[in-house]
Amino acid sequence: MLKIQFIKTFIRIVEFGSFSKTASNLNVSQSAISQQVEVLENYFGAKLFERSIKGVELTAEGNILLKYSKFIWDYLELAKKEITDSIGEIKGFLKISSSSIPGEHILPKFIINFKKNYPDISYQIEVNDSEISLNKLRDGLIDLAAVGSLENEKEFESIVLAEEELVLAVPANHELAVKDIIDPQDILNYPYLIREKTSGTRKESEKILNKEGISIKDLQIVAELNTTESILTAISEGLGISLISSIAASKFEKTGLIKCLKLPAYLSAKRKLYLVKKKAEEGKSSNLLETFWEFVKKSNK
């Protein structure tokens, strides 16, 4: 008998590319995964996967099922959310897209504390840069976004999650490491590591440098990297310097591999990190989303 959960298992197999990895992720036996696939194949009358040395790959028929499976599961989740809201229960699933700093260093504490009061919630935090996160929110693919840059977004509401400053991170043995406050013009003299164009950290860094009359084109950029962690690792290995989040850099600094240098006060290197939602349309915002939103708002007072 075909069960709805088998569709979710099918999607997971595609994501992991392996029956064994899927079994481990879902905490079931590999034979149970194989049996579910067999039921699906019998139901649809076609082979869905081809086994290979690398794992499993979709057949042409499997690709057709994948296309519709994602729609099926998304609509089931929406139906579940609406039913939960209609009976007034605070339970369900929150999907959040977050840039790396709020996603890895700030949001978890809010979610853990929220779950103490509402244990029947589950959540997913996917790490994307600020622009991608806001686009996903705009398209209705997520419930909330947590970002390090927010400019004139009239269609959104926001809460300040935290405030931090950008610092210049250098290798611990770098010649600039003897300083505590950096002359911004010194940045021009060394290899520089930069985040991708859609990153909130990148946008805030450009604002700071522009105040000093420095353009991105003036920097000796040696690499463009997609995560804060990859930038910090590259700095610790002596590959360059970078303006970066003080929250993330301070934890890395404790390892003794890097040194964090402050920028002069006149450059205003502080920035806010935001939790963002679409402006509520009457009858369309879930009880869970609104309850979590109010919880974060009150926690930050």
Tens digit of each residue's pLDDT (9 = 90 or more) over 55-99: 899 999 999 999 898 888 878 877 776 676 665 666 778 889 998
Q: 20-24, 146-150, 215-219: lowest mean pLDDT where? A: 146-150
Burial class (CB in 10 A: 0-12, 13-18, 19+), 31: exposed
Average pLDDT over residues 19-25: 89
Q: How far is CA 82 from the centre of its chain?
A: 25
**Contacts with 47 (C-beta within 8 Å, 6 or more apart), sequence order:** 41, 59, 61, 62
Q: Which residues, including other chains, have CB under 8 Å from residue 122's CB and lie 6 or more apart?
A: 92, 93, 94
> By the 8 A CB rule, do 273 and 146 touch?
yes
For residues 161 and 288, the answer to whether their CB atoms sit within 8 Å is no
CA atoms of 157 and 294, how far apart (whole Å): 12
For residue 103, what pLDDT is reported? 86
What's the pLDDT tens digit per position in 198-215?
888 888 899 899 999 999
Domain chopping of the chain, boundaries: 4-86, 92-161+272-299, 164-270
Query: Residues 265-289: what's their mean pLDDT?
Result: 78
Please indicate whether residue 17 or residue 90 has the higher confidence score (pLDDT).
Answer: 17
The residues facing 168 across adjacent strands are 243, 261
More confident residue, 91 or 100: 100
Dist CA 3 CA 69 (whole Å):
13
**4-86 and 164-270: same fold?**
no
Task: Kindly state the percentage of the chain with pLDDT values over 70.
Answer: 94
CATH superfamily, domain at 92-161+272-299? Periplasmic binding protein-like II (3.40.190.10)
The domain over range 164-270 is classified in CATH as 3.90.420.10: no
pLDDT of residue 221: 95
- Contacts for 264 with CB less than 8 Å, ≥ 6 apart: 181, 182, 183, 184
Estimate the crossing angle of helix 228-236 against helix 246-253, to 10 degrees: 40
Question: From 1.20.120.1200, 3.90.550.10, 1.10.1740.10, 1.10.10.10, which CATH number describes the 4-86 domain?
Answer: 1.10.10.10
Query: What kind and span of H or E run contains 202?
Result: helix 200-211
Predicted local confidence at residue 285, as pLDDT: 61
- Cα gap 179→263, rounded to integer Å: 11
Check residue 3 and give its pLDDT.
85
pLDDT tens readout for residues 230-249: 999 999 999 999 999 999 89
- Tens of pLDDT, residue by residue over 25-46, are 888 899 999 999 999 999 999 9
Lowest mean pLDDT among 213-217, 253-257, 266-270, 280-284: 280-284
* pLDDT for residue 282 is more than 50: no
Question: Is the distance from CB of 299 to CB of 159 less than 8 angstroms?
Answer: no
* Enclosing H/E stretch for 195: strand 191-195
Q: Does 281 score more than 70 pLDDT?
A: no
